[in-house]
Chains A and B, each alone.
Chain A
């Protein structure tokens, strides 16, 4: 995340242009070096301030650099340098519709054996006490909660499997649909492109499968778009 540090003040058009140029420069020049540094250091997070700007990087627990799976903010939809994690975008989840993957996300082959538990609401993440990577879970098991104005909403496992990496720290703010916990599927099926897997577990998307298309726009329908209407 790249943002202006400190108070927001009124910006003139010239200052805005300068801002955009600065963001571009930071993205191109600084971010690759920072990502590399972060990776090499073994640290989880880096918060850098430079000349009135603030850059925050976070490594997921499995060590692969990636951007937050949703929420553009300043800096838009581009990843910081480093391999984008296409699997993070491609895997549909048990709750609601996942963001439609971009064609470029399939450049790296995604493991066809994982699913992700996502946030069912916007709020603060609280893991289930004792939840640890490697634990076996069943579909529907509570992995944690999202505190929505004091009311907990459950984060559940989308399928049977083994708890993998957690992308979010306890107490972190999360948005709806944000990826929380990886679930490695048991006995990963070989997924034929375009064909759903035989098991009743939430299907994963093979890299060559066509991305789930949003519902074809029709006149005067009220159905929400997305592959899994909520």
Chain B
């Protein structure tokens, strides 16, 4: 096992990785930018080292700064968290070249799955039904129009080089497509340095269901069930839950098993997630894989009792998984609410500012993963995620009831959050009925969810 791990990330995930290090008795060093000098993880880590200014390109996205920091502080491994360099094959390779271990898949595996478009073809070859879409990247506007016509509108334009909703546009007509191509290309170029696009069929009223897998270095893999992430705004997840209300137990089992089999055959390692769209007729289509820890991993942890970050570290350290599919138990229902510094009443505009008061709810089946503390100055340089509130109950209605209580208890003063949006969702008939689809929030408008129901 590692002696010392450099945590090359920030916010709530830095704290999460720190906690896993403590669990395993590993020393933890936090690499931080100047904007995160006063972060909670910086205060709690065994050592904290400033790697650069607030600009992520010179700090959290700087491979040399991060690797140099790891060497300078005597670390033998680097945990990249999620986002930033967590799926960057070049970074993983550089880490290995300097004699350190990258906590995640190897550079070779990351390279294999780097292109979302190529991954779709790879996993189709391994037996997964994939979403219909363009045959390769869109060479030019003419090619794009032809592919969209062949696939059938509506289609979703997607950047091949990255995720998180950036550079994505759903279009229903050729005219919309032509207008969107420019916008998507420049967004993708700005966000990922690569403006390659491909397109997929867009399924109206589909569910986003993803499967969590863990595979050790010896090819032994298990799945840890699925998560439903259909409550989204502009392709960004807001609420995630497990199990998915969209599929009966047998179908969920089949989905997870097929995903696992395909991804092990394709040579994956460490922790990862395969994302699917589930159609109205319960048919599922693979869209992409995330070769890293996901934000919503606590949902799976609450149902299985397995520490996913500790598992990442153990696999990266060369340990065998140590348990089989039969050993994995799933209990109850878990729901996660992403608490963002965003003004839901005004188009989810991001906020920055000082947290005057912070009170995290507690009690059985209530978990708060957050880096907030009273007096914390939320920097304006990074994403708006303040924390994740995760609740568990023996069934979905009890999880929802716990969610209402926990959201009512949660206090974040001094900065506007989307707490009220989440609370309103728990009174929304579509959500209560388990009928939320991926574009519901966009279509109806987030503000609609804030209207108290009579």
Contacts and interface: CB of A to CB of B under 8 A. Distances in A.
Nearest to B46: A74
Secondary structure class of chain B's binding surface, majority of residues: mixed
Contacts of B408: none
A225 B37 contact: no
A139 interface: no
Contacts of A149: 64, 67-68, 71, 98
A40 interface: no
B34 interface: yes
Nearest to A97: B34
Interface in A193-230: 214-215, 217-226, 230
**Chain A interface residue bracket vs B:** 35 or more
Contacts of A218: 352, 380
B380 A122 contact: no
Contacts of B23: 10
Given A10-B25, A122-B72, A224-B381, A177 B350 contact: no
Contacts of A77: 43
Interface centre among B42, B47, B54, B378 (most CB of A within 10 A): B54
**Chain B interface residue bracket vs A:** 35 or more
A123 B68 CA distance: 6
B334 interface: no
B49 A122 contact: yes
Interface in B1-43: 3-4, 22-27, 34-35, 37, 42-43
A73 interface: yes
B245 interface: no
Nearest to B31: A122
A217 B65 contact: no
Interface centre among A70, A175, A176 (most CB of B within 10 A): A176
Interface string B59-83: 1000011011101110000000000
A222 B50 contact: no
Interface in B218-276: none
A173 interface: yes
A99 interface: yes
Contacts of A123: 68, 72
B54 A226 contact: yes
B174 interface: no
A214 B51 CA distance: 19
Nearest to B378: A217
Contacts of A72: 42-43, 48
A225 B381 contact: yes
A225 B54 contact: yes
A148 B64 contact: yes
B34 A122 contact: no
Given A121-B68, A149-B67, A8 B3 contact: yes
Given A8-B27, A177-B50, A148 B350 contact: no
Contact of A215 (B64, B69, B380): B380
Nearest to A222: B381
Contact of A99 (B37, B45, B49, B352): B37
* Shortest Cβ-Cβ A-B pairs, 9 listed: A224-B54, A217-B352, A173-B72, A10-B25, A175-B50, A73-B47, A230-B53, A8-B27, A176-B50
Given A77-B43, A149-B68, A230-B53, 8 more contacts: A71-B49, A122-B50, A122-B51, A149-B71, A177-B50, A217-B380, A224-B34, A226-B34
Interface of B: 3-4, 22-27, 34-35, 37, 42-43, 45-55, 58-59, 64-65, 67-69, 71-73, 98, 343, 349-354, 377-381
8 contacts: A73-B46, A122-B51, A122-B69, A122-B72, A176-B51, A176-B65, A219-B343, A220-B350
